[in-house]
Homo-oligomer: A and B are copies of this chain.
Amino acid sequence: MLTIYALTMSPPALKVLYVANALGLEYEQKGVKLAEGEGQSEQYKRIHPAGKVPALVDGDFTLFESNAIIKYLARKADSALYPDDLKKQAIIDQWVDFVSQHIHNGISRVLWNKMMAPKFGFDVDENSMKCGYEFLEKYLPIVDAQLGKTKYLAGDEISIADYILLAHVDPLEAIEIDVNKYPNLARWREALRTQDFYQRVHKFYGEALMAKG
């Protein structure tokens, strides 16, 4: 049985859960009480030396970093979500990294300063939040344009790049960005959110956060 350490308010953790569900894998999901310091416990640091989520335990094999976990799960399942073909895999890697660097960087700066920092009592860095919005204004049009050219992010077949982008743009409502400014992205996202792999993880981004008050 796989164990996935995850929190559904964390986009990197969410993308692992989406792919695990899309692959139809059975897994046990465990939370990590980061606010209470559980990430820095000696026990958890043996799984993830930086004390972050997500992390994977598969028998005696442990792995961290969300995209590495996703590629491992997809390759282990011999899934078409991450085909072995040289050029197809390269184009998927390209979009996975583009989204995980640029979209993630923008979203996480805004999400932290707009939602998490006030909630958990940290200082808000207004300039970092402003940079985050600027990154998103620069990089969201690029994925929107790509989704106007091909049905999915890395071509006309769905791939891990789509689940990864979905997790990173899941919080757009929470940070008050109108996704309809990006019509291709909005259409693509809506079609994915109604599917089982998504609904088994949560109904909407922020569900767990709201449930905890």
Contact = CB atoms under 8 A, between A and B. Distances in A.
A163 to B, nearest CB: 16
A41 interface: no
Interface in A13-69: 49-50, 61, 63-69
Number of copies: 2
A145 interface: yes
A10 interface: no
A190 B101 CA distance: 28
**Majority SS of interface residues in chain A?**
helix
Interface in A83-137: 86-87, 89-91, 93-94, 96-98, 100-102, 105, 125, 127-128, 131
Given A61-B87, A65-B98, A68-B97, 7 more contacts: A49-B142, A50-B138, A64-B98, A71-B89, A71-B93, A72-B87, A127-B128
A89 B65 contact: no
18 contacts: A49-B145, A50-B98, A50-B142, A61-B87, A63-B90, A63-B91, A63-B94, A64-B98, A65-B97, A65-B101, A69-B90, A72-B86, A72-B90, A72-B93, A76-B86, A97-B100, A100-B101, A128-B128
Interface in A144-188: 145-146
Contacts of A125: 127, 131
A100 B102 CA distance: 12
Contact of A50 (B67, B72, B96, B102): B102
Contacts of A101: 65, 100-101
A97 B93 CA distance: 12
A203 interface: no
Q: What 6 A-B pairs have minimum CB-CB distances, sorted nearest first?
A: A68-B93, A65-B97, A72-B90, A68-B94, A65-B94, A49-B142
Contacts of A145: 49
A197 interface: no
Given A63-B91, A68-B93, A50 B86 contact: no
A87 B59 CA distance: 12
A197 to B, nearest CB: 22
